[in-house]
Structure 1
Amino acid sequence: MIGNRFPKAARPLLIKGARPIGFDKAFDQPIDILIGTDGRIAEVGGAIVAGDEARTLDAKGAWMSPGWTDIHVHVWYGGTDISLKPTQCGAAHGVTTMVDAGSAGEANFHGLREFIIEPARENIYAFLNLGSIGLVACNRVSELIDMRSIDIDRTIATVEANRDVIVGLKVRASHVITGGWDLTPVKLGKKLSRILKLPIMVHVGEPPPLYDDVLGLLTEGDIVTHCFNGKAGGSILEDEDLYRLAEQAAARGIVLDVGHGGASFSFDVAKAALERGLPPKTISTDLHNRSLDGAVWDMATTMSKLLSLGMKMEDVVTASTTAPRRAIGLAADGLLETGKPAEFTLFDVVDADVTVKDSQGATSTLHRMFEPRHAILGAEPIVAHRYVPPARGGDEPHACPHCGWKS
C-alpha cells in the first residue's frame, strides 16, 4: 500500500476542540490534535499549547472522524467517457481516500496511475477491471464481450507491478455488459482474485447473471456493490430467497456496498433491508459524470440518505470510514495514536430540508444532513462543503467554489 502520501508541510497544524467519532478509542469530550510538518500526529490531548509556529484550526465542536473513504468512484478523467476529476468528489467534499472501481483495465491502467493517482492530493486506489479496456466507452463498448476482452497474463502482471495501489479486481455482472456470457466473467475474476490474494468487487445489475448465483461464488472479503439496487430481477426486496442469500453472504464476510450511482440504489430496498437488520457494510457513491448532478451529488448526501433510512449516525460514520478501509486492506485501528498519519474529516450534522432522489426517481426529504467542514490530509486542512448541483433549467454553468469544475 502507498499509505498516506502527504507532502511535508511548512508548519505544524493544531486542531482544537474536535469531537472524535468512529475511532477505536472513545473520548467523552472534545480534544486537540497536533500534527507535525511530516503529516503525522504529534500529540493528542485536552488543551495542547503548540507555540506560534503552528497554524490553528478551531473545529468549534465539529465532529472528527477518520477520513471519509469512498470505495466506488470513477476518476479516470480523460481515460473514460464517464469519469470525473478527483477534485470533483474528493477532499473539497470531505473525502480523503477514494477507490476507482474498474475504470481502467490492464491495457490502460498505467495512465490512471501516472496522470490521476500519483498527482492527486487525496489517497487514490483502484480495483482493476477484468476487461482489458476498462470503461473507455462505458456501456457503448462493453469491456466484457467474450474471452478476447480478457488477457489473464497481462492482468496478473499489471496487479503485481502495482500492488501498492491496486486493491482488487472489478467485474460488472449484468446482461447490458456481458450479454449471454452469464457467470463466466465472475468465475474468471474470482479465480484470478484467488491467485492474486485480493478481493473481487462485483457490480450486480440486470440479470443474467442472477444476483443469487453471484453471491454463491463469492467468499469472505469479496464485495458486492449496488447491494440495494431496485432493478427488476435483481432486487433483494422482491425476492425472499435472494434476501436470505444476501443475509447469509453478509454473515460469512462478504461486504455489501451501497454503490449508489445513477441506476443502482432504491430507497424502498434499503429501508426494507435496514428494518430487517441487514445494513450495508460500506457506503459508497459510484460517482461519475452521469450521476453527479443526478441522484448522487456527493458522499455527504449519500451518507445522509442512509441516516434518514434508519442507520445510526455512528454506524453511518463507520460504514464511510474504517469499514471501507478494512475492505481494501488499509489500517483502520489506532488512527488517533501518536505517530500515525493524520487523515480526518471534520463535519457537522445539521438540520435540513433537502429533497433528494434515489436511482429510480423516488423522492425523499432529508431533515438531517452530514456537512463536511474540512478534510485533513497530513498537516494541510482543506475547506470542504457539500456539493450542490446546479438548478435545473438554468442557462449558466454551475461552478464548484472549491474545485472549480463547471457542470
Structure 2
Amino acid sequence: MSRKRVGPIRRPRLRTAAVAAALLSAVLTACSGSAPAATHAAGDTEQHKERAATVTVTPHGGRVTAGEPVRVTAKGGTLTAVTVAGPHDKALTGTLSADRRTWTSDRNVVPGASYTVEAGTRTPGGTTGRSESSFTTAAARKVNKVDWRPGDGTTVGVAQPISLVFDNPVTDKAAVERQLKVTTSDDTEGSWGWLTDYSGRDRVDWRPREYWRPGTEVTLDARLDGTDSGRGGWFVRDYQASFTVGARQVVKVDLDRKQLTLQRDGRTVRTVPVSGGTPGPDTGSWRGTAVVLAKEGTVRMNSETVGLGDAYDETVHDSIRLTWSGMYAHAAPWNAAFFGRANRSHGCVGMSDADAGWLYSQVRVGDPFEIKGSEAKGTVAPNNGFGDWNVGWDQWRQKSALR
C-alpha cells in the first residue's frame, strides 16, 4: 500500500478592500458626532495600530442651560485644535491647558443659540483624529437690561463714575461683577460698589480711589451676554463704552459764606455770590460732594414733584442737575436780594442770570460740586445722583460683591 504524505492544510487569505479598511481605521467618538481617524501605513503590523483619542464636549445635547463655558476634553491623546462656532458664525475663543488635554472657552454660552464644536487630536503614537459635535441652548424666559453712564465717546469731569442700572433685580451680583472690566490708559485704581439706585433698582458703580487724572482714557467692557443675573433673568447682549476725562474742574460751594467758586487745574477761575437752601430738613441744601448729572438748560420746577406742596412753580434757566432728589445750580433772579447774604431757596444753589449763564457754559457732566456749610440739611447719599464720593475708600471697596 502506498503512503500519502499528510501535511498542514493551507487556507487562502481573504483580504478584501472592505476588510482592510475596517482593520486599518479607528472611530473617534464625540458627544453627538464622530469621524474616522487617520489610517496607518500599509506596512504597519496589527500590534502597532491604535485608536485615536476620544473627545468629550460639554455642554451637549438640545436645549441645554446657558451660562457655562464650553469644555473640550481629550482622553488617550492631546488636542491639536479646537474651533467653536456660535450664533451669527461668531467663533468662541478659548484657552488650552498646559497638558493640551482640555480646552475651555473664554465666554459662557448664551441663551437661545446653536454651537458647533470641531476638535483635532493626536495620540502619543501619532494617530490623528477629528471630531465634530453640536448643541443648542434654551431661550431666556426673562431678559435683564442695563442703562449705563457715561455715554460712549463723551468727555466727562474728574468725578464721573461708571454706573450701570439694571431693569430687573440682580441676585447673583458676583456673577455679574466678574463680567465687568474697566481699562484705563494710566492704570487708575478703582473698585465696583453695589447700591440701590434712587429709582429703587439695583445699580453698580465703578469709581476711582481719587478723582480721575485729566486726559485719562477709559473703556468699559461689560461682557454680560450669557450671564444669569438670578431671578432678574439673563443678559442677552454685551455693553461697551469709552470716554475721556477732561480738565480738572471743581466747583466749591460755601453755604456759610454764600459763594460759589470754580477752580480749574487748582486755580480759581471765578467766584460768584449765591443763595443756598433755607436752613431746615425740607428746604436746606445738601452738603458733601455732588456730581453734575446733566445740563438741563430750561426746566419747569414745580414744588409738588419734591413734596413741598405749592411753594413754587417756576421756569428756571441754565439748570445744572446735581441730585435725583432735585437739587440744582441755576439762575434765580427772584432771589437777587439774598445772593451773598442769606440762604433763602428751596434747596437749590441760585445765582444771577449772568453768573448762571457763565457757570453753565463752563462746567461739564462729571464735574464735582464740593458743598460745605453749617446750614446744610445733611450729606448727599451715594445713590442720590453720584454721591459715591461721600463714602470713604475702604468702605466703598466693601460694596464690591467680589471683596
TM-score normalised per structure 1: 0.24
Query: Of the two, which has the highest radius of gyration?
Result: 2
Higher helix share: 1
TM-score normalised per structure 2: 0.24
